[in-house]
Amino acid sequence: MSEQQQHQQQPYSIIKPVGFTIASCGYCHSDSSAHVYGAFAYKLTCQDYQDLIDHGWRRYGLYLYKPNLRDSCCRQYTIRLNASEFKPSKGQRRTVARINRYMRNQYVPLKISRESMVREDTSALDEHSPSPEPSHGIAHGPRRKSLSPPLGRIENTYADFLQTIHATDMDKMEPGSDWKRFNVVLEPARFTQEKYDLYCEYQKGIHHVPSSLLSRESFDNSVARSPLISETSSQDAPGFNGYGTYHQCYYVDNKLVAVAVLDILPRCISSDYFYYDPSLSSLSLGKYSTLREIALVQDIKAIPGYESMEYYTMGHYVHSAPKTHYKTMYHPSFLLDPETYDWMPFEKCEHILQSKRYYSFSESERFHPRVKGLLITMAAERRAREKSRGSKGSSPSSNDSGHMELDPSAEADAERLSVQDHPDHALSSSDEERHKRKRSEEFSHTPKELMRSGKRPSLTPPPSSSLLPPPGMMNPDDVTDRDLSQLVIFQGDRASMLTDSESFKNNKEVAKAMRDYYAAIGPALAPRMLIFA
């Protein structure tokens, strides 16, 4: 095959920029307080989406969005787990043991009320909502000593964890066993009536969604629709055919009881959505599916050619939203720095997030050298003022040229200055916030509303609480025509260079929107994607 033919067969991502928008927040439910940059993806290579995730992006159906952590009400930090180093906790081992006992007919699920189910699952958009541990009281009957080896006694080693989580799979059943037929099937994402019926049952039973609001479209957006271009694998692995979007389906006695929507990418498995049979809520299927997916990372990593598979991500962690805190219960977890895109251990971030509304964890790399120099000077002046107050008649030390000498400890003080101490990172005052909210009424569509209505928000950037571009993004004013000359657009059935198109040359709004797009996607990713105009 010639190089030209290989180039023509290479898949490309095709996206349509939406621009900067302000949406209602799905965490605190405030109006016009979630700042994002969005785009619709018609086609998306798995490698491109992997790189987008590693730069703070996330998808909902076909909609891609990158939160502006500094200006939003609830800061959404991308979180991931290093699956190779995962150590299950005692509670997580109990979750696996409970499922195994249930499959061996040694455990009867506790029937719980509709109110209890709501307390168990607090968000329709959270992929794996935690469920409370069932009590071991009268409802479960008296405890009996098992004559078989204690399945719940799992050693805290990863090898034992992998072995135990597969212990009651159907292929492990003994001939003539009275176990339930438990089968977990990984298959490419697709619609089936059985999946749709379970989805409706879950929405009505857990989230009290009226039947009139449930539709095939809402199911497609949450479960079935994906822009990812599937990549076929040459390796023989059950269920896994290469990168792409999959459904991991859980069957008990041939009945579908749960579905996990997973994006399997070059370096991680991304958990998008999970739903289950409400009658089995006490089994903590959300927790169990998380553990199965962590094990799946290792299963795929063991396939030749897929050694880069390493991580498991559950989307975003929001410190101010307790319903996302369960994501940190899987160790070791890391948060993505919104400015440097370094992965930082959660333990180092947690105490910072207790006191900071927004923070870049890579403190030493955050400031431009000139800004850092200014902070050092400010810290030195502050220390000098404190010394002068302490001794009357004394004055800040000066050198022969009349310039103030910098105390060596001033640099350390400057390093400890918070984002709020820096004027460019300061949050809006209440008056500015009210003015900003008043001006941004037109930006009131959440990603879900955009998908349902098809409405296109304005590409005009909304007012920001700071003069800086969103964290981790270029300043659109720094994007040059030479940068934009690398972009290719589709208009109708014809492809052309962006800078050659008449709309770019003659329409200032289009030119500005393209600069915003390049700044948001970044110089490494933007030239790899094609723009649908």
Angle value at C-alpha 250, between 448 and 86, nearest 5 degrees: 85
Place of tokens 């008043």: 438
- Do 292 and 248 meet the contact criterion of CB atoms below 8 Å apart? yes
> What's the first-to-final CA gap in the chain, in angstroms?
32
**Residue 163's pLDDT is what?**
80
- Do 415 and 380 meet the contact criterion of CB atoms below 8 Å apart? no
Structure tokens at 236: 């023989």
**Burial degree of 447 (CB within 10 A; 0-12, 13-18, 19+):** buried
Q: For residue 398, which phi and psi values (nearest 5 degrees)? A: -130, 155
- Do 328 and 77 meet the contact criterion of CB atoms below 8 Å apart? no
Tell which residue, 173, 170, 167, 136, has the closest CA to residue 152: 167
Say how far apart CA 318 and CA 307 lie, in whole Å: 31
Place of tokens 């004055």: 395
- Do 387 and 396 meet the contact criterion of CB atoms below 8 Å apart? yes
**Residue 248's pLDDT is what?**
97
Say how far apart CA 88 and CA 221 lie, in whole Å: 32
Structure tokens at 412: 């350390």
**Structural domain spans, the chain:** 10-44+56-75+429-532, 88-141+157-310, 368-421
The strands making up 268-276's β-sheet, listed across from edge to edge, are 182-188, 244-252, 255-264, 268-276, 311-317, 77-82, 333-336, 343-345
Structure tokens at 100: 């195994």
Place of tokens 């076909």: 62
The interaxial angle of helices 90-103 and 285-301, nearest 10 deg, is: 100
Say how far apart CA 195 and CA 260 lie, in whole Å: 11
Across 172-181, b (16+ Cβ under 10 Å) vs e yields ebeeeeebbe
| pLDDT tens by residue, the chain, 533 residues | 444 444 556 789 999 999 999 989 999 999 889 999 999 999 999 999 999 999 999 999 999 999 999 999 999 999 999 999 999 999 999 999 999 899 988 777 755 444 333 323 433 344 443 333 333 333 333 333 333 334 444 445 667 777 888 877 776 666 667 788 899 999 999 999 999 999 999 999 999 999 999 999 989 988 999 999 998 876 666 678 899 999 999 999 999 999 999 999 999 999 999 999 999 999 999 999 999 999 999 999 999 999 999 999 999 999 999 999 999 999 999 999 999 999 999 999 998 898 887 888 775 445 555 565 666 677 677 777 777 776 554 444 444 444 444 444 544 444 444 433 433 333 333 444 444 444 344 334 445 555 555 544 444 444 444 567 899 999 999 999 999 999 999 877 788 899 888 888 889 999 999 999 999 999 999 999 999 97
Say how far apart CA 144 and CA 130 lie, in whole Å: 28
Place of tokens 């059935």: 493
- Do 45 and 499 meet the contact criterion of CB atoms below 8 Å apart? no
Find the radius of gyration of the CA atoms of the chain: 26
- Do 10 and 2 meet the contact criterion of CB atoms below 8 Å apart? no
- Separation of CA 70 from chain center: 17
Return contacts of 405-410, CB within 8 angstroms, 24+ apart: 406/376, 406/377, 406/380, 407/380, 407/383, 409/383, 410/376, 410/377, 410/379, 410/380, 410/383
Say how far apart CA 318 and CA 338 lie, in whole Å: 13
